Amino acid sequence: MTLQTMTYLVVGFTFAIYIGIAIWARAGTTKDFYVAGGGVNPIANGMATAADWMSAASFISMAGLIAFMGYGGSVFLMGWTGGYVLLAMLLAPYLRKFGKFTVPEFIGDRYYSKAARIVAVICLIIASVTYVIGQMKGIGVAFSRFLEVDYNVGLSIGMGIVFIYAVMGGMKGITYTQIAQYCVLILAYTIPAIFISLNLTGNPIPQLGLGSTMAGTDVFLLDRLDQVLRDLGFLEYTTNVRLSLTNMFMYTLSLMIGTAGLPHVIIRFFTVPKVKDARSSAGWALVFIAILYTTAPSVAAMARLNLVETINLPSGEQMVYDERPDWIRNWEATGLLAFEDKNGDGEIVYSADAETNEMTKVDRDIMVLANPEIANLPNWVIALVAAGGLAAALSTAAGLLLAISSAISHDLLKGVFKPEITEKQELLASRIAMAGAILVAGYLGFNPPDFAAGTVALAFGLAASSIFPALMMGIFYKRMNKEGAIAGMVAGIGVTLFYVFQHKGIMFIQSTSYLGDMSPNWFLGIEPNAFGAVGAIVNFAVAFAVAKMTAAPPQEIMDLVEHIRVPSGAGAASSH
């Protein structure tokens, strides 16, 4: 069977499963639609959260980023996992106890203010929409690369699938499809990693293989990698710091706080039956995430070593261009890999020196996508990687779309503009909002705005500097009032946006940047993507100062805070 047929079969099979789940898990009430009925098992929710969280970027791009950053790539590994510790201890159990459907709803009730709720909706929509554009692009790219269909056709098919299960089933349909998608993506990620680790080190567990010796020698794999990179003039893999330790510290902190503050992740914890389930479910989510996140550094280092040693052979010879392996030919055809024999000797040299380097293009995404071919794995594994990439993008897109549509139908429509609508009308409105959100996301996928690449960092920056502090103070500081919370959110977002726009241009239009995006201009050497943590600190400081100067919140709000701090008397998530 050809690879093409195999890929169609595997991807088609996974899509059939997703649609089957959609038909089975239809939503009958708003509670089904917003929180999957509130009865999801904590382990199942952990799995769904893992799929929700791990996007096309985690699946396709992260290992490639680490492969070229080495130690510096650790900011993503720690940053995108450590946030779950904050979520489990500072937010999830209390928000579950509060027992409502959305994040802005908590902010609106806790700060007894429709204005606070609307500010939270705006932050949520900006953070989620910027994030969803990346997923839409991931779906289109995965289709066009593996199934050789046109980008726009691929994107339309992906939108159609999400449309079926998200509009019919809401959170209920999304939850059970995400569980299936997690299984697909984790198999697709770990199988090639196991074989690559086995090839290089003889150890089938990639996490151990990375710390092992190269098969048949007593040289450690990481020492070998450091050595070959030094020889080619690159920085050493294991000590290559990203800009500075201060920058790495702030970047990691921003990603952690941002992760804990992203609404599409938080709302997953509204679906479990009890407060104690919300705690353990965060642990399970991180177990399922950690399987991929501890495999990724192995994939990164091993793929980099494989790449270098394919071109600069361990024997000291260079790869002869006409005798290059098939996988190189295949990826050259996609344009993601390119060579130029500058000195015309028929051999290819890979070097840190741009003058002599003859591998002129190497797209980071190849590090994951080409793995099965580099390890000579059968076609069904390559087909599975295609299905895995699509599962990662679809599951994250669906979670984000639910966060957006519930903010529109529940927070804006039911909460602010038309409180008198019935349950049935709200359910219809939430389906319409979901359909609308899919169309908008699809439109942005077809016509990605110029600033799309820069905006994922903005999603984390906004979540870190606005949503996380407002939620945390709402739970841990009873005296926090609406004036403090609103001033804090506005100040946090303001500082973060100001810093990002100052260096990257207003709305990411380069020419409007009035301070170049380079380290001498950065505050304490912190890159704009890492500024969310500073925004969060400003938010906390301003909120405390303003709260001290204004009246304490009413007694019933103090009682509400007392109520959410203890698990007893929880009841299921409800709309009133």
Partner 1 sequence: MSKNSSYWSANLRLVALCLAIWFVVSYLFGIILVEPLNSIQLGGYKLGFWFAQQGSIYVFVALIFFYANRMGKLDKEHDVHEDDD
Binding site for partner 1 (CB under 8 A): 66, 71, 73-74, 77-78, 81-82, 84-85, 88-90, 93, 207-208, 210-213, 220-223, 238-239, 245, 248-249, 252-253, 274-276, 279-280, 282-283, 286-287, 290, 293-294, 297, 562, 565-570
Cβ within 8 Å of residue 238, ≥6 positions away: 70, 71, 222, 225, 226
- Report how far apart, in Å, the C-alpha atoms of 46 and of each of 53, 58, 265, 287 are: 10, 17, 11, 8
Smallest distance from the beta carbon of 125 to partner 1, in angstroms?
29
Nearer of residues 3 and 78 to partner 1, judged by Cβ: 78
Smallest distance from the beta carbon of 265 to partner 1, in angstroms?
14
Smallest distance from the beta carbon of 274 to partner 1, in angstroms?
5
Nearer of residues 283 and 448 to partner 1, judged by Cβ: 283
Smallest distance from the beta carbon of 279 to partner 1, in angstroms?
4
User: Do the beta carbons of residue 47 and residue 284 sit within 8 Å?
Assistant: yes
Smallest distance from the beta carbon of 86 to partner 1, in angstroms?
8
Output the six-digit token pair for 265: 């992740």
Neighbours of 230 (CB within 10 A): 13
Q: Return the sign of the alpha-carbon dihedral for residues 562, 469, 455, 281.
A: negative
Nearer of residues 219 and 453 to partner 1, judged by Cβ: 219
Output the six-digit token pair for 88: 């489990």
Smallest distance from the beta carbon of 84 to partner 1, in angstroms?
7
Nearer of residues 340 and 559 to partner 1, judged by Cβ: 559
Cβ within 8 Å of residue 463, ≥6 positions away: 123, 127, 257, 258, 259, 260, 261, 262, 263, 532
CA distance 137 to 188: 20
CA distance 324 to 310: 9
Smallest distance from the beta carbon of 63 to partner 1, in angstroms?
11
Nearer of residues 54 and 210 to partner 1, judged by Cβ: 210
Nearer of residues 479 and 565 to partner 1, judged by Cβ: 565
Nearer of residues 343 and 568 to partner 1, judged by Cβ: 568
Nearer of residues 439 and 558 to partner 1, judged by Cβ: 558
Cβ within 8 Å of residue 148, ≥6 positions away: 4
Nearer of residues 114 and 565 to partner 1, judged by Cβ: 565
Helix (H, G, I), strand (E, B) or coil at 477: coil
CA distance 561 to 258: 23
DSSP one-letter string for 125-177: HHHHHHHHHHHHHHHHHHHHHHS---HHHHHHHHHHHHHHHHHHHHHHHHHHH
Nearer of residues 222 and 440 to partner 1, judged by Cβ: 222
CA distance 208 to 197: 9
Smallest distance from the beta carbon of 433 to partner 1, in angstroms?
32
Nearer of residues 152 and 213 to partner 1, judged by Cβ: 213
Nearer of residues 352 and 558 to partner 1, judged by Cβ: 558
Nearer of residues 218 and 326 to partner 1, judged by Cβ: 218
Smallest distance from the beta carbon of 317 to partner 1, in angstroms?
26
* Main-chain phi, psi angles of 236, to 5 degrees: -60, 135
Helices within 202-274 (DSSP H only): 206-209, 221-231, 245-261, 263-266
End-to-end CA distance of the chain: 56
Smallest distance from the beta carbon of 234 to partner 1, in angstroms?
16
Which residue bears the tokens 């080495």? 70
CA distance 328 to 305: 15
User: Do the beta carbons of residue 17 and residue 149 sit within 8 Å?
Assistant: no
- Report how far apart, in Å, the C-alpha atoms of 161 and of each of 4, 18, 19, 20, 390 are: 21, 8, 7, 11, 11
Smallest distance from the beta carbon of 290 to partner 1, in angstroms?
5
* Main-chain phi, psi angles of 360, to 5 degrees: -80, -20
Smallest distance from the beta carbon of 280 to partner 1, in angstroms?
5
Smallest distance from the beta carbon of 521 to partner 1, in angstroms?
23
CA distance 303 to 371: 7
- State the DSSP H helix or E strand holding residue 347, giving kind and residue range, or none if neither: strand 347-348
Nearer of residues 19 and 290 to partner 1, judged by Cβ: 290
Output the six-digit token pair for 460: 């984390």
Residue 415: burial class (beta carbons within 10 Å; 0-12, 13-18, 19+): buried
Nearer of residues 26 and 276 to partner 1, judged by Cβ: 276
Smallest distance from the beta carbon of 221 to partner 1, in angstroms?
6
Smallest distance from the beta carbon of 359 to partner 1, in angstroms?
25
Q: If you ran DSSP here, which 8-state letter would residue 457 be given?
A: H
457 closest CA partner among 405, 527, 378, 407: 527
User: Do the beta carbons of residue 251 and residue 530 sit within 8 Å?
Assistant: yes
